């Protein structure tokens, strides 16, 4: 069985849904952001500021590569799909669930978050990022789950049914 990944934009609930799914399916959860922070010994804003986004993406991709043949659930960072190598890994070795939220819901959930460097930009840039990313999620997703009107337990039910 391929590992189950949750992909999607910042703030769609990947970590929350990942935790609930991990309980329901009795499989361990790996959060790529947490793994990066652990491996690097510094926060995400520090990594972005001192080493840049390209470096962050490289570490993110190696962490994904390490999970390839494991029986677990992976909650990914929203930008993982911007890296070509990561997209190839996702497409070939993972079962990908795209948690898709509307821009309005994302904006309500994350407002001005200091922990997300790529959200600390003008609104027009946020919208552009949101739209650009949707195409990338779509390119690797095995399933798209619209999250705006579903509770966490409903999302978990739906994902479990599709993860056969
Ligand atoms: C990012 C999303 C973040 C984190 C980093 C970059 C992005 O993860 O990986 O700030 O480029 O969308 P979340 O999706 O968990 O916020």
Question: How much is the average pLDDT of 148-157?
Answer: 97
Does the Cβ of 117 fall within 6 Å of ligand 1?
Answer: yes
**116 CA to middle of ligand 1, Å?**
6
| DSSP code per residue over 75-124 | EPPTTGGGSHHHHHHHHHH-EEEEEE--HHHHHHHHSS-TT-GGGSS-HH
The verdict on whether residue 57 carries a ligand-binding annotation is: yes
Does the Cβ of 10 fall within 6 Å of ligand 1?
Answer: yes
pTM score: 0.97
Fold classification of 4-163 is: Rossmann fold (3.40.50)
The verdict on whether residue 14 carries a ligand-binding annotation is: yes
pLDDT of amino acid 114: 75
Q: Where are the domains of the chain?
A: 4-163
Residue located nearest, by CA, to atom 6 of ligand 1: 79
What are the tens digits of pLDDT across the range 94-132? 999 999 999 999 999 998 777 898 999 999 999 999 999
Residue 2, helix vs strand vs coil: coil
What are the tens digits of pLDDT across the range 13-69? 999 999 999 999 999 999 999 999 999 999 999 999 999 999 999 999 999 999 999
Residue located nearest, by CA, to atom 7 of ligand 1: 79
């Amino acid at each position: 069985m391929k590992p189950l990944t949750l992909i999607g934009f910042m703030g769609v609930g990947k970590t929350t849904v990942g935790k609930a799914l991990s309980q329901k399916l009795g499989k361990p959860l790996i959060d790529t952001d947490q793994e990066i922070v652990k491996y690097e010994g510094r926060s995400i804003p520090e990594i972005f500021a001192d080493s840049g986004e390209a470096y962050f993406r490289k570490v993110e991709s190696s962490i994904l590569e390490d999970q390839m043949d494991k029986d677990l659930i992976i909650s990914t960072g929203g930008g993982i799909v911007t890296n070509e190598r990561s997209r190839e890994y996702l497409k070939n070795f993972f079962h990908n669930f795209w948690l898709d939220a509307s821009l309005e819901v994302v904006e309500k959930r994350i407002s001005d978050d200091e922990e997300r460097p790529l959200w600390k930009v003008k609104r027009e840039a946020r919208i552009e990022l949101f739209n650009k990313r949707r195409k990338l999620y779509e390119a690797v997703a095995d399933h798209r789950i619209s999250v705006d009107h579903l509770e966490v337990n409903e999302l978990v039910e739906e994902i479990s049914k599709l993860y056969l």
